[in-house]
Structure 1
Amino acid sequence: MSALILFDFDGTLADTAPDLAAAANRQRTRRGMEPLPYEDLRPVASQGARGLIRVALGLLPDHPDYEPARLQFLEDYAAESTVHSRLFPGVDALLDNIRARGLAWGIVTNKVTHLTLPIVEFLGLTRHSAVLVCGDTTEHAKPHPLPLQHAAQEAGYATDRCVYVGDDLRDIQAAHAAGMPAVAAAYGYLGQDEDVISWSADACATTPGELWGAIEPLLPKDLSRDAR
């Protein structure tokens, strides 16, 4: 029997932070403010609108200006979400390797469907992905386990035959709650003070090139050597 390797999207498979940061900086320029350096915005890219608006504008969800800023950010991002976004180097080869071994792979992201699909299609990931679960696919988003459980069910796998890879603590928490081993993508959108070790992931990859070496030992033991 095969296995399913599930990936977070932003900061794990795809480097989408440049387009997210650009949309955040557009909120500043709309207000006559200078753009922030990309390095200030990258670490919160996986936090979506909430994190980017907090850093770019200093607004939290309880502020009266937050919701209009969030909606404008999402509109700006949707208009130009594929300008600079690319797969991380080595991801294409990793996904080809997974398929060559007779294994399946899929995506579980907290980004909502209408923002995810254009980028996934632009990057050519829809052709071979076994499943795509977005932030609005299920009732709950990560760190709740439901999105991962739903992905496994949709692709036809038991959760104990899955591995999840992500660049945020929520990814590790969701995987463990769903009964899946988890790999921390430490090259993703982490803040400088983020302690990946404290996440208690089952393995860690500091570059995309290290992912297979981190994933392979976590696969079900009954897989053939060729598959593993």
Structure 2
Amino acid sequence: MRLRAVIFDMDGTLLDTAPDFIAVCQAMLQQRGLPAIDDKLIRDQVSGGARAMVAATFAMQPQDDGFELLRAEFLERYQAHCAVLSQPFDGMLQLIADIEQAKLIWGVATNKPVRFAEPIMQQLGLAERSAVLVCPDHVSRSKPDPEMLLLACTKIGVAPGEVLFVGDDLRDIESGRAAGCKTAAVTYGYIHPDDNPRNWGADVVVDHPLELRTVLDRALCSC
């Protein structure tokens, strides 16, 4: 079946949002008179969400006293700083232009709450170009459940089998496969050091956004 749409995960796939997360974590340390930590320690935990990043920043466990207050502060700070340093990954804007040139639909399905995802897309000028943005606020079950992708497919009027879902986490690939989409895993995203995208069972694995051009060309030429 011919490809008609491309859906991207946001953090670590479409956008490099780590710099804003890192800035928030380092500011929290600085405010408390604590030394900065290696940015990579924070970047490696982005896919794990706020809890994982706060735990790495303060060397704490989620069950520790005071952890939830730190997490709440992290989210409040990030709300005000979520679209300052974030940018599309190298080559991504060119890829999106190619997708649009080929008359394909593209959109985003992310586990990032809409209160963060929408301002980022707007700030980067992508909101008006994206056909759909599906966040946890729109579904009862987030990735790796297929509900998010199935909703995205319904909103754009495309069958799941005609969609390529691109992500940088195992749950992205699991979600895409469960929904019946084709899947692409990227190695340039926020991959935990102990993980390997080539073991996730994706239809294709790419090391750079522009490598997806070949995937799209092949799909567009198929009948």
Structure 2 residue identity aligned to 1:60: Q
1:159 aligns with 2:139: no
Partner of 2:48: 47
Distance in 1, Cα, partners of 2:216 & 2:29: 40
For the Cα contact (< 8 Å) 1:205–1:214, is it kept in 2? no
Residues 127-136 or 54-63, more deviating: 54-63
Partner of 1:191: 192
Shift of 1:215: 4.3
Map residues 1-228 of structure 1 onto 2, 5 A cutoff.
3-217=4-218, 221-222=222-223
Task: Extract unaligned runs of 5+ from structure 1.
Answer: 223-228
Q: 1:10 to 1:190 in 2, by over 3 A?
A: same
Q: 1:48 to 1:117 in 2, by over 3 A?
A: same
Shift of 1:219: 6.0
For the Cα contact (< 8 Å) 2:183–2:203, is it kept in 1? yes
**Partner-residue secondary structure (3-state), 2:137:** coil
**Partner-residue secondary structure (3-state), 2:25:** helix
Distance in 1, Cα, partners of 2:218 & 2:59: 43
**Partner-residue secondary structure (3-state), 1:136:** helix
Q: 1:176 to 1:219 in 2, by over 3 A?
A: farther
Q: TM-score, normalised by structure 1?
A: 0.91
For the Cα contact (< 8 Å) 1:204–1:214, is it kept in 2? no
Considering Cα pairs closer than 8 Å and 6+ residues apart, tell me whether 1 or 2 has the greater RCO: 2
Shift of 1:161: 1.0
Residues 205-214 or 8-17, more deviating: 205-214
Residues 100-109 or 189-198, more deviating: 189-198
Query: Among the aligned pairs, what percent are the same residue?
Result: 36
Distance in 1, Cα, partners of 2:216 & 2:71: 36
Distance in 2, Cα, partners of 1:219 & 1:182: 15
Q: TM-score, normalised by structure 2?
A: 0.93
**Partner-residue secondary structure (3-state), 1:163:** strand
Shift of 1:68: 1.2
Residues 137-146 or 191-200, more deviating: 191-200
Distance in 2, Cα, partners of 1:20 & 1:146: 27
Partner of 1:226: none
Residues 63-72 or 25-34, more deviating: 25-34
What whole-Å deviation, never above 9, does each CA across 1:19-53 have from its counterpart, x for those lacking one?
Answer: 01111223323433211111221122122202211
Note the aligned Cα RMSD (angstroms): 1.8
Task: Extract unaligned runs of 5+ from structure 2.
Answer: none
Q: 1:109 to 1:181 in 2, by over 3 A?
A: same
Distance in 2, Cα, partners of 1:193 & 1:219: 35
Q: 1:221 to 1:60 in 2, by over 3 A?
A: farther
